Amino acid sequence: MPITLDPTNSYQLETLAIRAGTHRTQFNEHSEAVFLTSSFVFDSAAQAAARFIGQEPGYTYSRFTNPTVTMFEERLAALEGAEQCVATASGMSAVLACVMGHLKAGDHIIASQSVFGSIINLFNNVIKKFGVETTYVSATNVAEWQAAIRPNTRMFFLETPSNPLTEVADMAAIAVVAKSCGALLVVDNCFCTPLLQRPLDFGADIVIHSATKYLDGQGRVLGGAVLGSKKVMEPVYQFLRTAGPTMSAFNAWVFLKGMETLKIRMDAHSANALSVAQWLAAQVNVARVYYPGLPSHPQHQLAMKQQKTGGGIVSFELKGGREEAWRLIDSTRMISITANLGDTKTTLTHPATTTHARITQEARDAAGITEGLLRIAVGLEAVSEIQTDLARGLYK
Ligand SMILES: Cc1ncc(COP(=O)(O)O)c(C=O)c1O
């Protein structure tokens, strides 16, 4: 049974993160149940037939329908203000489902050059083989998006803030350009989550998530999501139903529990990240700090219009190159050397040799990913202890 929230009340995001989408079984469990079952049984052959053609609502097979996954989808849809959510096995499969659901051979994508490295690989090495071309532009220069439009442009794709340089794209302005040529604007909202920013409110058509990051929040499982109107989600759902990059019920349950603390975690990540960014900006060995919450960030004003806070990710450039960056990483004793982000544990990454290692040098240059750049996903440890750990390698 769905637990219906009072329809006369427009609940705040922290309440929706805890309660939206809850369905209870006949046992009236308080915490959401995990349905680890591949298929569902029918009362009769006629009921099976009616369920498979969508004449009767109900569950059939967990590749495309599972009650725990549905709870995750309904909760995230409520948070993003979307009509529908399609949950996927990972953030990358969310991007794939979105592209495969909406594009065909001969179509064209305009993408920000500052997107996660694997997305560039997906567009250049996989999607291209099926006849879909991508042009890369600056996330922050709206005129470049306009100039890149071709008669066959069908999709605009961006991340804001971007990984790793935290560039902030003007979603409302880019949405106007996308609409002018009939293209869908897809925004990866992984860095902010709906607790800090809701892209659909700024004119995006589709929101993408790597749930692996802040929605889980403790680095346990992989998952993703695609959200938008029912009409826009239909081909995405059909791709998932047929091809099967599906979220597991167990992972959906982990995300449901993770989302319950999303508000307090995002606030705490943001407060710690602001302190770390301010501290880094005052260090003589640091050439530049990238954090949208700092007034020195080139899109600070825009960020504060679109986002509630600067978020939890800070990148910084050391005065030296790779040697200094690796020395700082190797000097830490507490911070985790790992490529994931959005965890309670602070993580430190050298993007040029990890997350963005498989793209070309030219693409790294275009995205501003230098050998001296480090990305820190600020966790929830005592901020003074995060700073102490970073300081060890800064002044060796
Ligand atoms: C911004 C962003 N989008 C998408 C992804 C892909 O997500 P996943 O690793 O869950 O496939 C990542 C992963 O690091 C990411 O940082």
7, pLDDT greater than 80? no
Instruction: Number of helices (H) and strands (E) in the chain: give both, helices first.
Output: 14, 12
pLDDT-based confidence at residue 3 (cuts at 50, 70, 90): confident
CB 292 within 8 A of CB 166: yes
Structure token pair of residue 41: 């049984």
What's the rounded mean pLDDT across residues 64-76? 97
**Residue 352 scores a pLDDT above 90:** yes
Please state the rounded mean pLDDT for residues 310-321.
95
Question: Distance from the CA of 87 to the center of ligand 1, in angstroms?
Answer: 14
Residue 358 in this model has a pLDDT that exceeds 90: no
Pocket test for ligand 1, best of 210, 220, 355 (most atoms within 8 A of CB): 210
Q: What one-character DSSP code corresponds to residue 128?
A: G
Residue 109 in 3-state DSSP? strand
Task: Please tell me whether residue 197 adopts helix, strand or coil conformation.
Answer: coil
Which protein residue's CA is at the shortest distance from atom 7 of ligand 1? 91
Q: Which residue has the tokens 């009769």?
A: 44
> Could you tell me the pLDDT band of residue 121, with boundaries at 50, 70 and 90?
very high
Both ends of the chain: CA-CA distance in Å? Answer: 60
Instruction: Look at residue 320 in the predicted model and tell me its pLDDT.
Output: 87
In the prediction, which pLDDT does 5 show? Answer: 82
pLDDT tens, position by position, 36-51: 999 999 999 999 999 9
If you average pLDDT over every residue of the chain, what do you get?
96
pLDDT given for residue 230 in this prediction: 98
Weakest-pLDDT range from 4-13, 70-79, 101-110, 296-305: 4-13
**What pLDDT, in 10s, does the model give residues 190-205?**
999 999 999 999 999 9
As a whole number of angstroms, the distance between CA 316 and CA 287 comes to 8
Ligand 1 pocket at CB < 6 A: 90-92, 116, 159, 163, 188, 190, 210, 212, 222, 224
| Whether the Cβ atoms of residue 243 and residue 212 lie closer than 8 Å to each other | no
Residue of 122, 166, 212, 356 best suited for mutating to test ligand 1, as the one with most atoms within 8 Å of CB? 212
Q: How far apart are CA 98 and CA 225, in angstroms?
A: 10
pLDDT number for residue 160: 98
Q: What is the mean pLDDT of residues 335-349?
A: 96
Q: Whose CA is nearest to atom 6 of ligand 1?
A: 91
Count other Cβ atoms within 10 Å, centred on residue 28: 7
Q: Are 215 and 258 within 8 A, CB to CB?
A: yes
Q: Is the pLDDT assigned to residue 348 strictly greater than 90?
A: yes
CA of 5 from ligand 1 middle (Å) equals 32
CA-to-CA separations, 336 to 129, 322, 344, in angstroms, rounded: 37, 18, 11
Q: For 227-255, how does the pLDDT look when each residue is reduced to its tens digit (9 = 90+)?
A: 999 999 999 999 999 999 999 999 999 99
Q: 347-349 and 373-377 as β-strands: parallel, antiparallel, unpaired?
A: antiparallel
Please state the rounded mean pLDDT for residues 268-296: 97
Mutation choice for ligand 1 from 166, 190, 255, 369, CB with most ligand atoms inside 8 A: 190
Q: Ligand 1, closest atom to CA 92?
A: 11
Tokens of 268: 């705490």
CB 253 within 8 A of CB 29: no
pLDDT reported for residue 111: 98
Higher pLDDT, 394 or 88: 88
| pLDDT at position 374 | 97
Element (H, E) at 202: none
Nearest CA owner, ligand 1 atom 16: 116
Q: Could you tell me which of 181, 239, 174, 196 has the C-alpha nearest to residue 79?
A: 196
Q: Is 154 exposed, middle or buried (0-12, 13-18, 19+ CB in 10 A)?
A: buried
Nearest C-alpha neighbor of 223 from the set 345, 13, 337, 66 = 66
Question: What is the best residue among 98, 113, 163, 206 to mutate for testing ligand 1's pocket, by most ligand atoms within 8 Å of CB?
Answer: 163
pLDDT at 76 over 90: yes
pLDDT at 367 over 90: no
Pair of tokens at residue 58: 């109900």
Summarised one tens digit per residue, pLDDT across range 136-178 is 999 999 999 999 999 999 999 999 999 899 999 999 999 999 9
pLDDT class for 301, splitting at 50, 70, 90? very high
| HEC sequence for 40-107 | CCCCCHHHHHHHHCCCCCCCCECCCCCHHHHHHHHHHHHHHCCCEEEEECCHHHHHHHHHHHHCCCCC
